[in-house]
Amino acid sequence: MLLTGALVGALSGCGSGGDADNGGPEGGGNGASGVSLQSKVKAPAAFDSTKGWEVRADWVPDRQPFPYAVSAKSGKVAYLDKTPQGYVLKVREASSGKLLSASKPWKAPDLTKQQRSGKDGKLTVPRVVLISGGDREYFAIWAHGEKRKDQLHEPKEVISAAFYPADASGEGVAPSGSGDVEMSVTGSLNLNVFPGADSQQVAPPGVDAVLEEDDVVDGSSKKPNGRVVGAAGSHLIGTWVTHDHKDVSSAVHDLRTGKVEATASCDTAATTYHVTAPKPVGEEETAPALSPNGNYLVKGGNIFDLKTGRGFCADNGEDAKDIVLTAVGDDGTAYGLAGDARGHTPRIPVSVPATTGVAKPLPETTEIPYAIAGGAGVFITYAGQDTAHLVVLSSRS
């Protein structure tokens, strides 16, 4: 969330490898030449493993994430290609693979010493995220690195970003805005950013907006309850601690007003309050996801039905394994992985219906979608353990 704020701030304040495709936006047919489906993905039954398209990124270093983003609303998939001139953002139609736009090359900042060492798992490749700006969506390229004014000045750690309208078309698309933000923002965000929050206006039912804590040294103290842990579309996801500090209530809030749209109560006090820039690996960092029709939302092990206001904790209960949900379809079926969130043990693919929130294990070899958009599922797979492939499979009718 802090990162998203930095990106939005940059937008408002600014005025040789490659993938497997071969050229700019095509004028006829389905426009998917050069991105035919090659990989064999053992997808859930809702997807057709024989129909779709894919791109590969030989240039992505080992253990670095494939840079892509999805607009479920418009049914588009955006990803990066690396060229000698810089990174190019390409946007394709999810259902057909048709290339809709390709940006001008974008230069990322230099890597920091820590990034160059490769010891800390730091991001070394740019990322792509979807930014909602009112009625319009943008795909943003961002990268963490360092820049210096000139050789007489020390470099500063920055996040550099460029923003492209999701509905852009053609080749050589210029950014709507770009900018750099110094890496000085740390800590966490709480939900008192909304009008009337140190009141009960944005707190879920049964939760106090202010927590009282007793300390043997400092005595009694009060602090705002509610922390932002993610955002998707026009929704914020927050976690709220109950007054006895034993349970956590997760809630979806309207981004503009803070109004509670759906809640899920979990029998655990485990929650991440300090939100920093995402790490390159670790499913616990998976972003929230909306269904294409906007009716369902998933975050971590929670699934929410925004039409009814009901939510469930799929990994709730004694001895339950951690579940991280990555995508949810228009029918309310979500997909994810169960197991140790740090990847220390084998993880089990699962599906979770929004009607019950009860996880169902899938065959162990099943690959789960990391996004669903435009009647298709988006999968990330690796050939030979070192080449990243983005595979988009058609949904079954």
Residue 345 has a pLDDT of: 65
Residues 310 and 262 sit within 8 Å (Cβ to Cβ): yes
Residues 6+ apart with CB under 8 A from 89: 78, 79, 80, 101, 102, 103, 106, 128, 139, 141, 164, 173
What single-letter DSSP state applies at residue 286? P
Task: Average the pLDDT over each of 90-94, 200-204, 210-214, 281-285 and give the range with the smallest value.
Answer: 281-285
Residues 6+ apart with CB under 8 A from 177: 10, 11, 12, 14, 15, 162, 163
C-alpha span between 222 and 273 (Å, rounded): 16
pLDDT band at 385 (very low <50, low <70, confident <90, very high): low
Residue 272: its H or E element: none
Arithmetic mean of pLDDT, 202-217: 76
pLDDT digits (tens, 9 = 90+) for 138-182: 999 999 888 888 788 888 888 899 999 999 999 999 999 998 888
Task: Average the pLDDT over each of 54-68, 280-294, 302-316, 329-343 and give the range with the smallest value.
Answer: 280-294
More confident residue, 19 or 71: 71
Percent of the chain predicted with pLDDT > 70: 76
The DSSP bridge partners found for residue 333 are 353
Task: Average the pLDDT over each of 20-29, 68-77, 137-146, 250-259 and give the range with the smallest value.
Answer: 20-29
pLDDT digits (tens, 9 = 90+) for 129-146: 998 766 789 999 999 888
pLDDT band at 24 (very low <50, low <70, confident <90, very high): very low
C-alpha span between 337 and 107 (Å, rounded): 35
pTM of the model: 0.82
pLDDT digits (tens, 9 = 90+) for 305-324: 999 999 999 987 777 888 99
Handedness of CA 184, 189, 194, 196 (dihedral sign): negative
Residues 260 and 245 sit within 8 Å (Cβ to Cβ): no
C-alpha span between 97 and 36 (Å, rounded): 9
45: phi then psi, degrees, rounded to nearest 5: -60, -20
Residue 170 has a pLDDT of: 96
Residue 133 has a pLDDT of: 64
pLDDT band at 17 (very low <50, low <70, confident <90, very high): very low
What's the first-to-final CA gap in the chain, in angstroms?
36
Percent of the chain predicted with pLDDT > 90: 46
C-alpha span between 382 and 359 (Å, rounded): 26
More confident residue, 318 or 375: 375
Whose structure tokens read 């064999």? 40
Of 238, 250, 332, 351, nearest to 291 by C-alpha is 332
Residue 191 has a pLDDT of: 61
Task: Average the pLDDT over each of 174-183, 199-208, 360-369 and give the range with the smallest value.
Answer: 199-208
* Mean of per-residue pLDDT scores for the chain: 80
Give yes or no for residue 185 having a pLDDT over 50. Answer: no
Arithmetic mean of pLDDT, 98-111: 94
Q: Which amino acid is at 160?
A: S
pLDDT digits (tens, 9 = 90+) for 255-265: 888 899 999 98
* The Cα angle at residue 242 between residues 211 and 213, in degrees rounded to 5: 30
Residues 77 and 390 sit within 8 Å (Cβ to Cβ): yes
C-alpha span between 360 and 338 (Å, rounded): 10
Residue 15 has a pLDDT of: 39
C-alpha span between 210 and 192 (Å, rounded): 10
Residues 6+ apart with CB under 8 A from 248: 239, 240, 241, 242, 265, 266, 268, 269, 270, 271
